[in-house]
């Protein structure tokens, strides 16, 4: 039996030519979607598997839903420019010089991370119905440049003037280590500049507490910065803007205060105490934040 050689069979040649011709005009088959994975607050990766059969793809494109943001490359493809804290699915298509395949089926849903930032919440203490004599933030992360304590406060002291609250650092209760503060304050009639070498209770002035004699439901407000709290080469300086008003019941008080802790230790804990050792009342709230450098 004679065996036809490939080169002798024109029908085979034609078929081959047709096949080659069709292939050269063909677009790639649709890739198979893989797993989508969150990378950070603005990007994700999308895996896929290229089709085995059909025309060769020259590139692969992943597209997000929502947003129609795209990324190209080989598996896994990175898609950037996503919005933080947002859920996405992705499809992938293959492309060559003849065009693009249809989109793959949708990937699993991912959610981008919360936005990274330079101002981060660390912890909050809100006083319950029984009141509290101290507020403590311990194990403060060392990963920030500055700290800020914000909140509202009210004490149970019966007095005819505002209380202040002191910040003690690293459980240091030696009064002499909180040597000085300087303040500029006013009560609605007089502006005063004053300072003191030592408080009733150890600590730097950091917050204001409204006396129980004040108007019900009324709290002082404060914002206190603790600067360069990790620096072991210098003493620690605080600054505070604080104030309260109770509609003329004898309580109007606003101050700008600076304080000093004479220690080169990095601050790892803060204890807030009423200067006259009274209790903070219910709903007083102290929130600690870290500011990156």
Partner 1 sequence: MAAGATYTPIATTTLGSSASSITFSSIPQTYTDLVLITEGIGASGGSYDVDMIVRLNSDTGSNYSFTYFYGNGSSTVSSRSSNSTNAIVGGVNDSGRSMSICHFNNYSNTNTYKTFIARINRPTIVAAFVNLWRSTSAISTIYLYPDSSKSFAAGFTFTLYGIAAA
Out of 26, 186, 260, 266, the residue judged to bind partner 1 by CB under 8 A: 186
170 touches 136 (CB < 8 A): no
Our CA angle for 26, 31, 34, nearest 5°, is 170
Q: Can residue 79 be called a binding residue for partner 1 (CB under 8 A)?
A: no
Residues 6+ apart with CB under 8 A from 227: 146, 236, 237, 238, 239
Cis peptide before 66 (omega within 30 of 0): yes
Q: Which is nearer to partner 1, 72 or 171 (CB)?
A: 171
Give me the least distance between CB of 115 and partner 1, in Å please. 5
Give me the least distance between CB of 119 and partner 1, in Å please. 4
Compute how many residues bind partner 1; rule: CB under 8 A.
53
Residue 268 Cα to chain centre, angstroms: 20
Q: Can residue 228 be called a binding residue for partner 1 (CB under 8 A)?
A: no
Q: Can residue 124 be called a binding residue for partner 1 (CB under 8 A)?
A: yes
Out of 221, 227, 237, 260, the residue judged to bind partner 1 by CB under 8 A: 221
Pattern 132-151, binding to partner 1, x per CB under 8 A?
-----x-xxx--------xx
Instruction: Write the CA distances from 58 to 40, 186, 279, integer angstroms.
Output: 28, 73, 72
Which DSSP helix (H) or strand (E) runs through 94?
strand 87-96
User: Tokens 């994975």 map to which residue?
Assistant: 37
Q: Can residue 185 be called a binding residue for partner 1 (CB under 8 A)?
A: yes
Question: Can you give the binding site for partner 1, defined by CB under 8 A?
Answer: 114-124, 137, 139-141, 150-152, 184-191, 215, 217-223, 241-248, 252-254, 256, 282-283, 285, 287-290
């Amino acid at each position: 039996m004679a065996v036809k050689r490939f080169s002798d069979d024109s029908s085979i040649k034609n078929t081959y030519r047709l096949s080659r011709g069709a292939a050269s005009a063909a677009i790639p088959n649709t890739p198979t979607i893989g797993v989508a994975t969150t990378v950070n607050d603005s990007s994700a990766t999308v895996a896929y598997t290229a089709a085995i059969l059909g025309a060769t793809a020259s590139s692969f494109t992943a597209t997000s839903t929502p947003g129609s943001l795209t990324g190209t490359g080989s598996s896994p493809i990175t898609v950037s420019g996503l919005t933080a804290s947002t859920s996405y699915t992705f499809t992938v298509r293959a492309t060559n010089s003849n065009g693009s395949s249809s989109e793959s089926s949708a990937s699993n849903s991912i959610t981008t991370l919360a936005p990274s930032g330079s101002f981060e919440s660390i912890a909050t203490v809100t006083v319950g119905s029984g009141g509290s004599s101290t507020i403590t933030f311990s194990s403060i992360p060392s990963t920030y440049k500055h700290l800020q304590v914000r909140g509202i406060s009210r004490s149970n002291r019966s007095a005819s003037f505002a209380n202040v609250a002191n910040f003690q650092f690293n459980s240091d209760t030696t009064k002499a280590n909180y040597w000085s503060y300087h303040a500029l304050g006013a009560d609605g009639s007089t502006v005063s500049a004053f300072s003191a070498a030592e408080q009733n209770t150890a600590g730097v002035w950091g917050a204001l507490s409204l006396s129980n004699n004040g108007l019900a439901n009324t709290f002082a407000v404060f914002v206190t910065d603790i600067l360069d709290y990790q620096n072991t080469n210098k003493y620690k300086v605080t600054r505070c803007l604080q104030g309260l008003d109770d509609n003329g019941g004898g309580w109007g008080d606003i101050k700008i205060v600076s304080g000093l802790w004479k220690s080169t230790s990095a601050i790892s804990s803060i204890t807030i105490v009423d200067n006259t050792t009274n209790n903070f009342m219910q709903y007083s709230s102290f929130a600690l934040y870290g500011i990156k450098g």
